[in-house]
Amino acid sequence: MAAVSPAARADRTIAGVTKPDDHVLVVFGATGDLARRKLLPGLWHLAETGMMPDDYRIVGSSGDDLSGDGFRELARRAVEEFGAVAPADGDWAAFAARLSYVGGAFGPGSSEPLRRAVEKAESELGKARRLFFFSVPPVAFGPIVRGLDEAGLAAGSRVIMEKPFGTDLASARELNALVHSVLDEQQVFRVDHFLGKEGIQNILALRFANGMFEPVWNRDHVDHIAIDVPETLTVAQRVGFYDATGAFRDMVVTHLFQLLGFLAMEPPPAMDAAAISGEKVKVFRSMRPLDPGEVVRGQYDGYLELDGVAGGSDTETLVALVAHVDNWRWDGVPIFLRTGKRMGADRKLVTIAFREPPRQLFAFADAAARDDRQNRLTFDFDERGGITASFLAKKPGPITELERATMRFGYESLGTGILEAYERLFHDAMVGDKTLFASAEGIERLWEVAAPLLDDPPPVQRYAQGSYGPEPAIDDLIAPRRWVLP
């Protein structure tokens, strides 16, 4: 195999980022789907872009019986399939040498093997920080937290916890109490990978770095906001989890409400974690408890025939709702959220729709321009998304008529400078930056907001696969306004 030139590797280095201290990173659930698709390829990409510590060790842990060589081979296959940089195009040998593995259960009474592995890694590094990633179901959080305490590994460590953070207010409080019995809140990083996306972070930049936007980011100028995340995926590969969870718990409380906090927050006094988290929690406190009458729950045709779905299941595979933030900035501005499976497209859009002028002085060139005349800012927060401004402009020619026009900023041409969401969040946790992570207080407040819907959900309505939800309910929810998609 030909050696990779220093120049080729230098091209991937991202300059100006904070270098983490030396670290021992432990990934619980290291042979699972998330680790294969995101975590292991992400750590490799961070290493190749110069964002890992000068020295580090990665310890994989799961119940699978693997040797160290077996885990390194699993990591290589994961990078080959899902990584941004192929192993052959980087210094794979140096990365693989830092990987080790501990198999078997971990928890009280079974913590010794991992404790020895962590101590061995620390002895090789000297002074180093510890970071644990819980890529496991929530039912395993308790045993792992107690195992860390028993092994003496909790003190001074940081812990990344993968969602979900409970299933209702009572379970969220119970989970937080368990975690806080061993770990201080400052040690806990509750990961929401949506917040690690470039498009989401650009909402803050657009608002607070540009004088033309923040003055109109309020009820006087904004007619409504829509957060629309349709997916074409089926749930066939994770029926057991999904039939017990549904679209609302899976996507809205843990993802879309967190995004709403960024959209609706007041300008923070500083762009640091404490200030931004505080402003987000203020938004959550201002949210009106959900009205089940402003919620549409859908279930795609064929869902009940999937193996593992309970007979007559009322689980929603789509949810759309209206949220209200009852404060001075947003009073009277409806915020529409929609997400679901087996829909007509895979998109991740935030749309800010502005109020129309009080009088329209110009003729329209066609019916499309007349019927869709609101000015809009649309944030596409897919991995290679962008920002689109949609407005009315004069149609070229001797007649003064209006037609739709757009201007767009995109990330498509920006090579390896773009980090995948988990990569950004892994790096932030290593340097102790909690800006893009959820807090215990915020999570509990969102479950309070959700309580009326969880207590009295409307019945599910069928929708065709490849559609955008049950008709006419999905359009009636937003009427007289319209969804941007389809």
Q: Mean pLDDT lowest for which of 67-76, 111-120, 130-139, 397-406?
A: 397-406
Averaged pLDDT, 235-258 = 91
Q: How far apart are alpha carbons 483 and 200 in whole angstroms?
A: 20
245 within some domain: yes
217 and 153 belong to one structural domain = no
pLDDT higher than threshold 50 for residue 54: yes
- Pairing status of strand 437-438 against strand 363-364: unpaired
- Pairing status of strand 376-380 against strand 386-394: antiparallel
DSSP3 helix / strand / coil % (the chain, rounded to 5): 40, 20, 40
188 within some domain: no
169 within some domain: no
201 and 90 belong to one structural domain = no
Confidence (pLDDT) at 370: 65
382 and 290 belong to one structural domain = yes
87 and 217 belong to one structural domain = no
Query: What is the H or E stretch that residue 363 is in?
Result: strand 363-364
Query: What is the H or E stretch that residue 91 is in?
Result: none
Cis peptide before 480 (omega within 30 of 0): yes
Give the number of other Cβ atoms within 10 Å of residue 364's Cβ.
18
CATH number, position 260? 3.30.360.10
313 and 456 belong to one structural domain = yes
257 and 391 belong to one structural domain = yes
> Which residue numbers are catalytic?
255
Averaged pLDDT, 311-330 = 97
pLDDT in tens, 201-246: 788 888 899 999 999 999 999 999 999 999 999 998 889 889 999 9
pLDDT higher than threshold 60 for residue 310: yes
168 within some domain: no
Give the number of other Cβ atoms within 10 Å of residue 167's Cβ.
17
Percent of residues, the chain, with pLDDT higher than 90 = 72
Confidence (pLDDT) at 204: 86
pLDDT higher than threshold 50 for residue 332: yes
242 and 137 belong to one structural domain = no
CATH number, position 138? 3.40.50.720
Sign of the dihedral defined by the CA atoms of residues 75, 77, 80, 82, in that order? negative
234 and 340 belong to one structural domain = yes
| Domain count for the chain | 2
227 and 152 belong to one structural domain = no
- Pairing status of strand 335-340 against strand 318-323: antiparallel
171 within some domain: no
Q: How far apart are alpha carbons 167 and 147 in whole angstroms?
A: 23
54 within some domain: yes
* Predicted TM-score (pTM) of this structure: 0.90
The residue among 362 and 124 whose pLDDT is bigger is 124
Q: How far apart are alpha carbons 169 and 192 in whole angstroms?
A: 18
Confidence (pLDDT) at 413: 56
pLDDT band at 193 (very low <50, low <70, confident <90, very high): confident
Confidence (pLDDT) at 1: 38
35 within some domain: yes
486 within some domain: no
269 and 386 belong to one structural domain = yes
pLDDT band at 100 (very low <50, low <70, confident <90, very high): very high
29 and 106 belong to one structural domain = yes
DSSP E strand boundaries for 99-214:
99-103, 129-134, 158-162, 188-191
Provide the domain limits for residue 127. 6-162
In the DSSP assignment, the letter for residue 308 is T
